[in-house]
Every structure is written in structure tokens, then in C-alpha cells.
């Protein structure tokens, strides 16, 4: 559905995007995750033909952004970070205006507007001017303008920015519902946003992709698939050597010692739980085990690890 090939974009001497390449399949909800200034919005603008790349290209639903920008725009619904609303217009008036701009036939506009209002849950505010709406309803209306022409692809740039917790949950649920039928790219720097709504994640830092996959796959790519916390009474040197010798343990961190009890964090690249291996090691050596539990590395751990590494 979407294929990006070696996209780069500079603003003067600042490199915003560097040789980005990725694919999004039909029906995917892809999270584009990165810190502020990482290049997310620039990539969104390139995909929606608001901004040309300096090099590289992309296709959306088979249409090339250089050769067929009009066709690309027709098959995309775009909600930019700055919601494109006219505060002095009425809600219905605005949606009818967008429908005309999207070349929806005059005879179909009423039905399209009503259908979009239903999908986005706007029934209670249809008689109000946009300037009267809460931030949450303005975001819903922004989604409505992106959906009204029934596009195959939705591109949403920071769709919950500035919303309160209740509004965030409402917009997330709406995106998940829409994502059942559309291909969605959601750009965000908010970790729970991506975890809650997306099937797959791209992590971008300083204009480059530094991680790609499901949250579970990214965990394995980063520190490893899991971390195990273990507290043992015994010689630190002996315990540390024994733990380091276990299969699939990539790192042993000594977290502290108190009254002969040592606490360690084990980093593993294995998908299976290694807690049983640790238990049997401690038992064989006659050490005293006082704590043992597995901590699955989450998206926040991965994000911090991948975006704080030096980009070469």
C-alpha cells in the first residue's frame, strides 16, 4: 500500500530525514515514533505531497509522489499536527465545504457528511460553530475531514496532542475502529499512544530509522527480549560468574549488595523465560535465593535505548 525508498530532506544545513525506507501493508496501523525534531512530520508531509524530498521517492496505493501527486492526495486522508479548521464556520458547513473540495458529487455530499458524522461521533455538536467546540471534538472533526472522501490511507500527525486523558482515550478508540478498514500511519512522540493503537512501530531518531517491528520484536532488537531481576545470598564473584555463564544471558548488571545479599539484573536475548534456569543454577550451587522475577522490556525501554544511542 505504501512504499518509501531512500527518502532524504534537508533544511539548509539541517538534515531532517536521511535515507528513510519502509513499507506499510494494506490494513496496517503503523506507529511512527520519535522525539521532537526527529523527522516525523517532515516524512508525513512528503508522503502527502505537501513537501518534495531532496532525493528518493515513495508510492501510495501504486501512485508515485513525483509522477502522480494528485492521485496520491486523492487516496490519502491527512490530519496534520495543526488541525486545519475554520473557527467561524459551522460544523456541517465545514464538512460540506471539505466534501466539495474533495470532489464528492453534489448528490452524494449529504449522505457522506451524515456517514462521517456517525463514524466520528459528532452527532451532539452538528449545530455548533467550530469555535465553540472543545479540543477533543475539534480533533474528531479533523479526523472527519480526513475521512470524508473514504480514502484508502490515513496519515495522522500527533492526533492527540493537547488533549486531556478522557479525550485521548476517545480518539485512540476511534483510530483503532477506523484502522480495521484503513491503512493508517500515526506519528507521535507519546509512547502509550503507539502502544495502544498500532500493530507495528518504526522508531526514528535524527532523521533515521533506528528500530522497526512489533513492540516485542523491538525489545529483542534493543536490550534483549527480557530482563530478570534476581537477589542471591552468596559470594558476588561466584554468583556473577555463574549467572554470566547461563545460555542466552547477554549482560549481568550488579545492582548492589547488603549484608551478603547481592542483587543482579540479567539481560537476555531469548524469547523464552529464563527464570527456571536461574533457579536451578542457584539451587545447584547451594546459594540462597531471596528474589526472582522476570521483567519484560517495554516500548519505553526500547525507545530510550534506541534514541539515545549515537547515530553514526
Among the candidates 169, 187, 213, a domain finishes at 213
pLDDT at 311 over 80: no
Helix (H, G, I), strand (E, B) or coil at 279: helix
Stretch among 23-37, 121-135, 217-231 having the lowest mean pLDDT: 217-231
Same domain for 78 and 173? yes
Same domain for 25 and 64? yes
Note whether 161 and 139 are within 8 A (CB).
no
- The DSSP bridge partners found for residue 201 are 31, 213
Residue 92 exposed, middle or buried by CB count within 10 Å (0-12, 13-18, 19+): middle
Same domain for 170 and 246? no
User: Any idea what the CATH number is for the domain that residue 138 is in?
Assistant: 3.40.50.300
The residue ranking higher by pLDDT, 23 or 216, is: 23
State the pLDDT confidence band at 72, using cuts at 50, 70 and 90: very high
Mean pLDDT score, 60-65 = 94
| Interval 7-45: pLDDT, tens | 999 999 888 999 999 999 888 889 888 888 889 889 999
User: Any idea what the CATH number is for the domain that residue 274 is in?
Assistant: 3.30.70.3100
Query: CA 33, CA 121: separation in Å to the nearest integer?
Result: 27
The residue ranking higher by pLDDT, 272 or 206, is: 206
Mean pLDDT score, 248-261 = 91
294: closest CA among 248, 257, 237, 241? Answer: 248
Measured torsion, CA atoms of residues 264, 265, 271, 273, in degrees rounded to the nearest 10: 40
Query: What pLDDT, on the 0 to 100 scale, is given for residue 194?
Result: 78
Query: What pLDDT, on the 0 to 100 scale, is given for residue 225?
Result: 58
Phi then psi for residue 17, to 5 deg, are -135, 135
244: containing domain: 223-296
Query: What pLDDT, on the 0 to 100 scale, is given for residue 296?
Result: 58
Same domain for 196 and 263? no
Which range in 25-34, 72-81, 186-195, 299-308 is most confidently predicted, on average pLDDT? 72-81
Residue 120 maps to a domain: yes
Same domain for 143 and 278? no
Tell me how many degrees the CA angle 177-180-181 measures, rounded to the nearest 5. 110
Amino acid at each position: 500500500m505504501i512504499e518509501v525508498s531512500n527518502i532524504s530532506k534537508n533544511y539548509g544545513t539541517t538534515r531532517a530525514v536521511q535515507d528513510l525506507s519502509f513499507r506499510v501493508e494494506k490494513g496496517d496501523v503503523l506507529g511512527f515514533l520519535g522525539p521532537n525534531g526527529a523527522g516525523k512530520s517532515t516524512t508525513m508531509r512528503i508522503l502527502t505531497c505537501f513537501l518534495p524530498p531532496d532525493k528518493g521517492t515513495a508510492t501510495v496505493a501504486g501512485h508515485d509522489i513525483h509522477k502522480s501527486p494528485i492521485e496520491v492526495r486523492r487516496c490519502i486522508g491527512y490530519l496534520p499536527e495543526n488541525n486545519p479548521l475554520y473557527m467561524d464556520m459551522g460544523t456541517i458547513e465545514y464538512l460540506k465545504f471539505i466534501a466539495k473540495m474533495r470532489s464528492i458529487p453534489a448528490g452524494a455530499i449529504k449522505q457522506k457528511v451524515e456517514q462521517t458524522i456517525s463514524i466520528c461521533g459528532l452527532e451532539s455538536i452538528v449545530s455548533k460553530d467550530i469555535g465553540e467546540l472543545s479540543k477533543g471534538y475539534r480533533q474528531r472533526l479533523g479526523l472527519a475531514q480526513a475521512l470524508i472522501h473514504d480514502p484508502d490511507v490515513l496519515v495522522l500527525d500527533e492526533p492527540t496532542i493537547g488533549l486531556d486523558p478522557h479525550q485521548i482515550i476517545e480518539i485512540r478508540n476511534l483510530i483503532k475502529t477506523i484502522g480495521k478498514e484503513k491503512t493508517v500511519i500515526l506519528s507521535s512522540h507519546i509512547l502509550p499512544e503507539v502502544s495502544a493503537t498500532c500493530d507495528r512501530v518504526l522508531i526514528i531518531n535524527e532523521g533515521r530509522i533506528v528500530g522497526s517491528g512489533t513492540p516485542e520484536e523491538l525489545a529483542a532488537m534493543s536490550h534483549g527480549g527480557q530482563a530478570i531481576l534476581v537477589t542471591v545470598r552468596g559470594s558476588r564473584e561466584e554468583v556473577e560468574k555463574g549467572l554470566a555463564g547461563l545460555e542466552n544471558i547477554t549482560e549481568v548488571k550488579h545492582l548492589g549488595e547488603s549484608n551478603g545479599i547481592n542483587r543482579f539484573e540479567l539481560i537476555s536475548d531469548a524469547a523464552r523465560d529464563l527464570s527456571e534456569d536461574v533457579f536451578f543454577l542457584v539451587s545447584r550451587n547451594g546459594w540462597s535465593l531471596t528474589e526472582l522475577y522476570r521483567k519484560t522490556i517495554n516500548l519505553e525501554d526500547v525507545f530510550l535505548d534506541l534514541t539515545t544511542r549515537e547515530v553514526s
